[in-house]
Structure 1
Amino acid sequence: MRNRVILLAFRGDLDIDEDLLARHVRPTHSERALIKSISDGTYWGRHPKVPRDVRDAVTAGLPDLAPADGGDELKPWFTLRDALAGYVDTSEPLPPVPDSRLDRKQHDDMPVDHVGWPDARIYPGHTPNVLDRPAKTVKAGVHGVPGGESVLLTDETIGSKRAKTLRYKHRYMTVREAARVMTFPDSWRLCGPRGEKMRQLGNAVPVRLGEVFANAVARVLDEVESRS
């Protein structure tokens, strides 16, 4: 959900085809398409194991669709749940992190950097990620791992509906989950302690976003070369 400005600059004597450049960096996904896919059930077809009560709560909380203003022809925004399930780049789903594994340890049966971290908190100004929306910005932070930006709500509930204490459990995202959000492949290895790894991710441009602009530049320069 980070707004970015990306500047592409070329030598003035290259006679760049700006229309060709624009065609390769046009929008591909939209919020409107995501809302429609959740509402009509297409989204849940990708996530058949999500509990019915969670689906119903997410669907009931959808904003009303504004009058058509474009975006219907685009793909749905990817959500945090999509990233963790491997839907974004057809990787394997990340296994759940149970309460017993919020222990700062790399377990042999877990992917590298998929390490649970204890003591996650939610407080004003630090609202958590929800699974069925795009992830919040992965921040580099200046005092270690930031607050709610690194916390997610799970599908598991605690408390009582009768006592009005029912809520979803929350925990810190693992480094591997944050890397999934930034579209780094699972084979990518980050260095240093957890805070340093999160800083690296927060300072990065999402890999697939960078790829779009790099490919656009390459195609425009190829077109210039073909005319020379």
Structure 2
Amino acid sequence: MLDAIDGVNWAAVPGHPRWYEPARAARGLRALAEAANLVQAAEAGSLLAGGGIVHGHSGAVFPAAAVAAPLLLDIAQQGHPAARDTALGLLDEALSSYPHAGYTRVNTPDGPAVPICCAIADHLRARAVLLTGLGKRGKTLLADAAEHWRFEIRECVADSGDTAAFGVLAGCLPDGVQAAELHRAGELAVPAGVALEYPPAEGSREACLRVRGRHPDELPPGATLFPSECVLRVH
């Protein structure tokens, strides 16, 4: 775990120059991973919440939070109980805080320019078994992450001036028409209105969305939809 923390060039992670302190991210994560009691965990948490991955006093989150999310989940799994609680609290704060203008997105294996909150939510979903096993606090994090849905398009067909898009839904798409940002081939397209046509069956993530006023040619396989609401979250 320490090698993974040290392997990140935190100074190269973008962040508001007035608020983001890369050294706090590196020192805080290392200290939290090594914490052996409540006091040490609290001190590490203060570093991370005071400019490392979030700025707690102003309610701002930095791109470093998305980079740190899998490391915090490792600490929650392997660390001291006090470190686990601190890690979960930081993940909750990062997911609910707003980024500064100009520092709202991160590059992920699923694509570039993903909203910070959506990237964190993906990390949380990837460790759903761990979080569920941690009880109420872990389950609450998963429920909050579900609001930051993502839909990957696999196939499309035209349907009465709209497009029926078949693919994989992560998270929970609310009822009604939702504004969504379309990511395709590494580029951002004009937002679209989407609605859940057929929800996933139990135990499956496959779903069908209706994309209003779009032709299938605009929605190639591999394109991804994110909630526009997340894109507009700015501190």
Under TM normalisation by the shorter chain, which class is it? under 0.3
TM-score, normalised relative to structure 2: 0.24
**Structure possessing the higher relative contact order (Cα contacts under 8 Å, 6 or more residues apart):** 1
Q: By percentage of residues, which structure has more strand?
A: 2
TM-score, normalised relative to structure 1: 0.25
Bigger Cα Rg: 1
Q: By percentage of residues, which structure has more helix?
A: 2
